[in-house]
Amino acid sequence: MLVLLKREVGEPVVNDLTSWLRMAGLGVHRTDHNGHVRLAALGEAGLVDWEQVKKFPAVESVTKIAMPFKLASREFRPHDTVITVGRCAIGSDQLALMAGPCSVEGEAQTFTIAEAVAKAGATVMRGGAYKPRTSPYSFQGLGEEGLRILRRAADAFGLAVVSEVMDAQMVPLVARYADILQVGARNMQNFPLLREVGHAGKPVLLKRGLASTIEEWLLSAEHVVSQGNGQVILCERGIRTFETYTRNTLDLNAIPVVKELTHLPVIVDPSHGTGIRNKVAPMARAAIAAGADGLIIEVHHDPDHALSDGAQSLYPEQYRELVEQIRTIAAVLGRRL
């Protein structure tokens, strides 16, 4: 249930009502909007006499939150969530530009790419140290040494770090080095992992599953938010359809739909969405035009010899050109880099 309090209600009153609801066995989450305190009371609603709650002097209204993803919905929080990471405010008028190699392969490679994407305008460096590969014989990443290299390279060029965490036991280790914890498409419904990153106290980049509906995606975000971590960045990275020409089908419809349903920011991964280098830029431009809050793109200075995803990685000069195109599109939409 959503309990909307009257304007300018004092904190002691808010605290008393919150305590009363919690003693009734409900979980209570708060947000503030336009001078109103909004309390989402979640749990077994039948335990509370809501007609009695409506009569509280401080209560303006009590309504049911219709969406299954309660805390991630705009019913609970009408205004956009903005997540500040390094020099970027994700979900604001500033577009988030995340770029880097699919995998950290070594120090020279990582520093070369970090310098290139930073000069082009990126504010967050992506890079995998632990790689969930389809084949057990493919490169699996450098592990903690890869995280160390990624952190050093990002720090050298003023970038934040996003890197994937593959299981719940790995969260403290990756959180030691990364500013944003990425939950990959294959793990979108790994609920123990979602709960653990929900407790980590760091922003979470949640990729859409390979064949997941938008509702399933947002319910996965709800698992994180319900643990007290509202810093979730949604990432559309393409879904698996009957089409085989591209690696996935990049669902740009999801951007305006998600922006309407949730207050959480949404970015797009056109690298995995297409799997083809010369298709990345067109889809990146389209994503920003459709209202995405940013992009995460794979960049490699020598993609022909990359240990993973070379075919979809942009050369640094291609990335630099794309950023300038994005800058132009952003200005038309009243946004900035």
CATH number of 83-332: 3.20.20.70
What is the reported pLDDT for 68? Answer: 95
pLDDT beyond 80 at 46: no
Summarize the confidence of residues 105-109 as an average pLDDT.
96
Does the structure show a pLDDT above 80 at 309? yes
Question: In this structure, are residues 197 and 170 in contact, taking their beta carbons and an 8 Å threshold?
Answer: no
Instruction: Spell out a b/e string for 172-185, using b for 16 or more CB atoms within 10 Å of the CB, else e.
Output: eebbebbbbbbbbb
DSSP 260-308: HHBSS-EEE-HHHHH--HHHHHHHHHHHHHTT-SEEEEEB-SSGGG-SS
| pLDDT value for 19 | 94
Tell the burial category of 315 from Cβ atoms under 10 Å away from its Cβ (0-12, 13-18, 19+). middle
CA-derived radius of gyration, the chain: 21
Confidence class for position 138, pLDDT limits 50, 70, 90: confident
Query: What pLDDT does residue 255 have?
Result: 98
The string of DSSP letters for 61-114 reads: EEE---SSSTTTBTTT--SPP-EEETTEEETSSBPEEEEE-SB---HHHHHHHH
Q: What percent of the chain has pLDDT over 70?
A: 100
Amino acid 140: pLDDT: 83
Distance CA 87, CA 125 (A): 12
Of 4, 63, 10, nearest to 37 by C-alpha is: 4
- Outline where DSSP puts E strands in 24-68: 27-33, 36-42, 59-63
Check pLDDT > 90 for residue 134. no
Q: Helices 214-225 and 191-199: crossing angle, nearest 10°?
A: 40
For residue 291, which of 248, 325, 257 has the smallest C-alpha distance? 257
Q: Would you tell me how many other CB atoms lie within 10 Å of the CB of residue 168?
A: 17
Cα gap 211→28, rounded to integer Å = 32
Measured at the CA of 27, the angle between CA 45 and CA 20, to 5 degrees, comes to 80
Min mean pLDDT across 21-30, 65-74, 143-152, 158-167 is at 21-30
Burial group, residue 334, by CB count within 10 angstroms (0-12, 13-18, 19+): exposed
pLDDT of 133 reads: 78
**In 37-49, which positions are buried (b, 16+ CB within 10 angstroms) versus exposed (e)?**
bbbbbbeeeeebe
Q: State the burial class of residue 285 (Cβ atoms within 10 Å of its Cβ: 0-12, 13-18, 19+).
A: middle
Mean pLDDT over the full length of the chain: 95
For 296, residues 6+ apart whose C-beta sits below 8 A from its C-beta are 98, 99, 124, 126, 162, 205, 235, 267, 268, 269, 271
φ/ψ of 313, rounded to 5, equals: -90, 135
Residue 236 reports pLDDT greater than 90 = yes
Both structure tokens of 160: 């934040």
Q: State the fold for domain 2-63.
A: Alpha-Beta Plaits (3.30.70)
* Confidence check: pLDDT of 269 > 90: yes
Q: How far apart are the C-alpha atoms of 99 and 107, rounded to whole Å? A: 17
Instruction: Round to whole Å and give the CA distance between 257 and 240.
Output: 19
Task: Give the containing element (helix H, strand E) for 234.
Answer: strand 232-236
pLDDT band at 131 (very low <50, low <70, confident <90, very high): confident
Give me the residue spans of the domains in the chain: 2-63, 83-332
In the structure, what pLDDT confidence band is assigned to residue 139 with cuts at 50, 70 and 90? Answer: confident
- Judged against a pLDDT cut of 90, whether residue 132 lies above it is answered with no
Dump pLDDT digits (tens) for 188-235: 999 999 999 999 999 999 999 999 999 999 999 999 999 999 999 999
Judged against a pLDDT cut of 90, whether residue 137 lies above it is answered with no
CA 41 – CA 140 distance, rounded (Å)? 43
The string of pLDDT tens digits covering residues 141-197 is: 899 999 999 999 999 999 999 999 999 999 999 999 999 999 999 999 999 999 999
The whole-number pLDDT of residue 260 equals 98
The distance between the two most distant Cα atoms of the chain, rounded to a whole number of Å, is 68
